[in-house]
Amino acid sequence: MFFASDNTGPTHPAVLQAVIEASDGYALPYGNDPWAARAQALVREVFEAPDASVHLAITGTGANSMIMGAMAPPWSAIFCHEMAHILIDEANGPQMYSGGASFAPVPGAGGKMSADGLRAILDRYAPGDVHTPARGPISLTNITEAGTAYSLSEIEEIAALGAKAGLAVHLDGARFSNACAALGCTAAELTWKSGVTAATFGGTKNGCMSVEAAVFFDPAYDAAFLRNRMRGGHLLSKHRILSAQMVAYLTDGLWLTLGAQANAAGRYLADGIRAHVEFVDEPAGNLMFVRFPRALHRKLHAAGAQFNSFADVGTGPDDEPIVARFVCDWSATPENTDRFVDLLKAG
């Protein structure tokens, strides 16, 4: 009953096999390995972007922070949702890599920045006055931190607002494949065809050991990213370990297959628990937030179910509904979920 995160599961066998093979023999370091070029080519192919700049990083926080470091000058503000991972969960990494950019949090229901919310905040950061931080990039997360998904038209609307103001758009795709699977769209549609300038393309939460790709559809940010990757200690000498994972992940559409699997597992779980919990938002993929009574949280944890409770489980009224987060990864099985749902139903 592992629903704590999609980073707690096993490495997919095909990815592991690639790492095993790449661990043997000699290869030049720092991205000069033969797998590196193959990984870059595959990312470009998947994104239908032959000119994209593609670089690998070891973590999602690293990739996001280094992309922000390349896109956001130190005197600028990054526009993101007020629950964005880069704002709340990356320990000021974007600040460090950018040399001091700030955030301009944008409100919006369901974990999604609203166009009206963005307009209002953009007004607050009107250009032309050296006192106010300059307008920096807009960053969206898809699948969002609330488990919902921006539709392509929602991304387009925000990107159009950005374009009008001369701002680039970043997509935090820690759950990129889940978003594509949920929306039934291509990687290109989720990004540059909708106006996105750069994306974090996540592998770690979807069967990889630990690898993310930074994908830039505008070459302007390339040099700064590469310098920051080295400064941050993210350029692996044995870079082939990263390359090999990405090659396996992109071969034969594995990335999308696994994302669809995880989403299906998420749907199966959601359907199983729907009658017994209150959904904070209707989940789009493999991640969901629901409310149910504290006493039940306690019971499920005691039974060995792994999930996050966003309140003190130990103290407080037994029947007060508190929020839980459940995540399914590609390896989740119906049996595991059934067992959990049965426990939950038993109340």
Q: Which is nearer to its own copies, 96 or 288 (CB)?
A: 96
Task: Return the amino acid letter for 344.
Answer: L
Distance separating alpha carbons of residues 96 and 66, to the nearest angstrom: 9
Of 192 and 221, nearer to its own copies (C-beta) is: 221
Nearer to its own copies, 93 or 195 (CB): 93
Which of the ranges 39-47, 97-105, 191-199, 271-279 carries the binding residues for its own copies, by CB under 8 A? 97-105
Q: Taking the CA atoms of 274, 190, 206 and 113 in sequence, report the sign of the dihedral they define.
A: negative
Query: Given candidates 14, 38, 44, 100, which one binds its own copies under the rule CB under 8 A?
Result: 100
**Cα–Cα distance for residue pair 201/40, rounded to 1 Å:** 12
Position among 41, 102, 152, 163 found at the interface with its own copies (CB under 8 A): 102
Q: Does 24 bind its own copies (CB under 8 A)?
A: yes
- Which residues between 49 and 88 bind its own copies (CB under 8 A)? 57-66, 73-77, 87-88
- For residue 224, the minimal CB distance to its own copies (Å) is 8
- Rounded to 5 degrees, φ, ψ at 5 are -165, 160
The residue among 131 and 164 lying less far from its own copies, judged by its C-beta, is 131
Distances, alpha carbon 255 to alpha carbons 54, 142, 219, 228, 263, in Å: 16, 16, 25, 27, 12
* Binding to its own copies, residues 195-234 (CB under 8 A): 204-205, 209-210, 224, 226-234
Q: How far apart are CA 314 and CA 297, in angstroms?
A: 9
Q: Give the span between the Cα atoms of 270 and 326, in whole angstroms.
A: 9
Nearer to its own copies, 37 or 91 (CB): 91
Contact 33, 243 (CB under 8 A): yes
Q: Is 110 in the site for its own copies (CB under 8 A)?
A: no
Other CB atoms within a 10 A radius of the CB of residue 94 amount to 28
Out of 236, 248, 273, 290, the residue judged to bind its own copies by CB under 8 A: 236
Binding to its own copies (CB under 8 A) within 297-336 occurs at 306
